[in-house]
Amino acid sequence: DTEVTQTPKHLVMGMTNKKSLKCEQHMGHRAMYWYKQKAKKPPELMFVYSYEKLSINESVPSRFSPECPNSSLLNLHLHALQPEDSALYLCASSQDRAGGWSYNEQFFGPGTRLTVL
Amino acid sequence: KNQVEQSPQSLIILEGKNCTLQCNYTVSPFSNLRWYKQDTGRGPVSLTIMTFSENTKSNGRYTATLDADTKQSSLHITASQLSDSASYICVVSDRGGYSTLTFGKGTMLLVSP
């Protein structure tokens, strides 16, 4: 299985809602990432988990809360979002973040298209 | 500051024609360079990945080149197909203990019939 899956594919939520995005991989990768991508822009790194521990938080607002319950799953909990948070949210995984280059090739999921009303 | 610049920003070509996309980078220390294809609203899919010592790598109709001296890369698409319409993103990885990726803004390619 060489796939990263994300659910849901599309999500529409109000500014007062609480929702979660889910990401799953079964490649044995120990690093997982969340990216945010606005239209016609490159992905922007949000969070990195390495061995189920948060290792990088790129100054993301607290209304985004990541969680890594186990080595295969990565969640992104959303609360009190703003319309400008509407974007494509991409999950990625890699074998590890440290070590040689061959260990950090990132495999991306298909993304969740989020719309905040 | 690490940067990746891509050109052109967008490109329209006729089906069956060839095209070349460019990528210039200032990432140090350099580890590897990869090209991704991203369909609208979908996640990026890796096309090629090249390290410092590799000059060219092919994946079907896609051929990437790398000149580590001038810090330039190109992606050549041969005999384009309608399904090649997508954004092509150049991504460079540094060689730090915890490698990070620097993304280019992508070239939007439209292949018309």
* pLDDT tens-digit readout, B36-70: 999 988 899 989 989 888 899 999 999 999 999 99
- State yes or no: pLDDT of A103 exceeds 90: no
Interface test with B, best of A21, A104, A105, A112 (most B CBs within 10 A): A104
B66/A91 Cα distance (integer angstroms): 28
Chain A nearest CA to B90, separation (Å): 10
Which residue of chain B is at minimal alpha-carbon distance from A92? B43
Q: What angle do CA A24, A29, A35 make, to 5 degrees?
A: 60
The region of weakest confidence among A66-70, A106-110, B6-10, B22-26 is A106-110
| Interfacial A residues in 29-48 facing B (CB < 8 Å) | 40-43, 45
Q: Is B47 within 8 Å of chain A by CB?
A: no
Q: Is B17 within 8 Å of chain A by CB?
A: no
Q: What angle do CA B43, A73, A46 make, to 5 degrees?
A: 55
Q: Are A44 and A36 in contact (CB under 8 A)?
A: yes
| Percent of chain A clearing pLDDT 90 (strictly above) | 68
Interface test with B, best of A91, A101, A113, A114 (most B CBs within 10 A): A101
Q: B45 to chain A: which residues are within 8 Å by CB?
A: 108
A103/A112 Cα distance (integer angstroms): 25
Q: Is A96 within 8 Å of chain B by CB?
A: no
When pLDDT is averaged across residues A104-112 and rounded to a whole number, the result is 87
| Percent of chain B clearing pLDDT 90 (strictly above) | 74
Q: Is B110 within 8 Å of chain A by CB?
A: no
Q: What is the DSSP letter of A87?
A: E
pLDDT band at A98 (very low <50, low <70, confident <90, very high): low
- State yes or no: pLDDT of A99 exceeds 80: no
What pLDDT does B52 receive? 82
Neighbours of B6 (CB within 10 A): 22
B22-25: long-range contacts, CB 8 A cutoff, minimum separation 24: B22/B72, B22/B73, B22/B74, B23/B72, B23/B73, B23/B74, B23/B75, B23/B90, B23/B104, B24/B71, B24/B72, B24/B73, B25/B71, B25/B72, B25/B73, B25/B90, B25/B92, B25/B102, B25/B104
The region of weakest confidence among A44-58, A86-100, B29-43, B56-70 is A86-100
Q: What is the DSSP letter of A30?
A: -
Chain B nearest CA to A57, separation (Å): 13
When pLDDT is averaged across residues A31-47 and rounded to a whole number, the result is 92
| Tens of pLDDT, residues A2-37 | 689 999 999 999 988 899 999 999 999 988 999 999
Which residue of chain B is at minimal alpha-carbon distance from A105? B49
